[in-house]
Amino acid sequence: MEVALKRPAAFVAKAAATLNPSSTVLAVAALAQSPRRPFSFSSLTRPPPNYPGHVPLSRIEKAALAIGSGLMSLRDPRRGDLIAAFAEATATPYFIYRLRDAMLASPTGRRILRDRPRITSTSLNLPYLRSLPENTVGRTYISWLDREGVSPDTRSQVRYVDDEECAYVMQRYRECHDFYHALTGLPVVREGEVALKAFEFANTLLPMTGLSVFAAGTMKKSERARFWDTYLPWAVRNGLRSKEVINIYWEEELERDVEDLRRELGIETPPDLREIRKKEREERRRRKETADKAAA
């Protein structure tokens, strides 16, 4: 391992990828921990981290991380670790600063940047959210979490964004993702995830969200047709006209009527994807039973 860590990043990433597809990301992560970087930085030592958990990467390393994680996340959009790495590697030098500036331009966004709240099961007090009226933002959010079997504690820590404030912006975007799910009603199935990523791209311009739309090519034919005909037009229309969702102080909106918040933001809910898929399964089951009876 010591020998491998001293070789150029592209060579190590290529060799790792031949062994295991996801090893490209692991190889870059391992290289990032190497104390001596003669091929990456002007000095012989890696620059010190800018915040706890930060891993400084050279441009070559970021490119390797972006390519490896991007290809693998297209193959499996449910790999949150790969999507997180890809998002961080492609957010600079422009896009994460644009999102940070959008927060600085908003009074609410500036308060979020000053307070730096985190979204976890502890900070949100999930039992309290379950006690709220059904029409509230908090109850809508917790109901979505319970229905989808999702926890707010599973979001990866930002590591590869160099600017400390921008790292928080990326962390905030990442932790707010489930609120976007709840607000739109989109489930965590592949169709729902890709549709929400298209919405986020139209609203945030983060490259990862836009490139994730190509994962539509991995869907079944019927799902792909539904995405192009219904959910992509919905995502683009609502993402462009909605206010910057990064500036929602969710912790202060939990007791608010969810329909009121949707109207203020300019977001309409798409057709219920869970219900559509349920009806399709029932129809396939009926057809199979009919065919089995005819064959008997």
| Highest mean pLDDT: which range of 14-18, 43-47, 121-125 | 121-125
Q: Is 193 annotated as a binding residue?
A: yes
Measuring CA to CA, which residue among 89, 88, 107, 67 is closest to residue 174?
88
Res 231: pLDDT: 96
Res 3: pLDDT: 38
| 136 pLDDT higher than 60 | yes
CA-based Rg of the chain, rounded to a whole angstrom?
21
Average pLDDT of span 211-236 = 91
Report the chain's mean pLDDT, rounded to a whole number.
84
Q: Is 146 annotated as a binding residue?
A: no
Whole-number percent of the chain with pLDDT over 70: 83
Q: How many CB atoms lie within 10 A of CB 251?
A: 14
Res 34: pLDDT: 46
At CA 213, angle to CA 152 and CA 94, rounded to 5?
Answer: 80
Count of structural domains, the chain: 1
| 5 pLDDT higher than 90 | no
DSSP string across 61-130: HHHHHHHHHHHHHHH-TT-HHHHHHHHHHHSTTTHHHHHHHHHHTSHHHHHHHHH-----HHHHTHHHHH
- Quick: pLDDT tens for 243-263: 999 999 999 999 999 999 999
Band (pLDDT 50/70/90 cuts) for residue 80 is: confident
Cβ proximity of 24 and 68 under 8 Å: yes
Q: Kindly report which listed range (75-84, 125-134, 140-149, 198-207) carries the lowest average pLDDT score.
A: 75-84
Res 69: pLDDT: 84
Res 155: pLDDT: 87
Residue 158 lies in a domain: yes
Res 262: pLDDT: 96
Residue 231, amino acid? Y
| 9 pLDDT higher than 50 | no
Q: Kindly report which listed range (26-30, 105-109, 217-221) carries the lowest average pLDDT score.
A: 26-30
Residue 292 lies in a domain: no
End-to-end Cα separation, the chain, in angstroms? 63
Band (pLDDT 50/70/90 cuts) for residue 93 is: confident
Res 77: pLDDT: 64
Tokens standing for 230? Answer: 């219904």
| 89 pLDDT higher than 80 | yes
Residue 160 lies in a domain: yes
Res 46: pLDDT: 76
Per DSSP, the three-state class of 257 is strand
Residue 296 lies in a domain: no
Res 123: pLDDT: 93
Q: Is 223 annotated as a binding residue?
A: no
Cβ proximity of 206 and 173 under 8 Å: yes
pTM for this one? 0.80
Residue 123, amino acid? S
Residue 245 lies in a domain: yes
Residue 83 lies in a domain: yes
- Quick: pLDDT tens for 12-39: 344 444 434 445 454 445 444 444 444 4
Residue 1 lies in a domain: no
Identify the domain containing residue 194 by its residue range.
Answer: 7-285
Q: Is 54 annotated as a binding residue?
A: no
Q: Cα separation of 129 and 131, whole Å?
A: 5
Residue 291 lies in a domain: no
Per DSSP, the three-state class of 134 is coil
Res 92: pLDDT: 81
Compute, in degrees rounded to 10, the torsion defined by CA atoms 210, 150, 122, 183: 60
Band (pLDDT 50/70/90 cuts) for residue 41 is: low
| 218 pLDDT higher than 90 | no
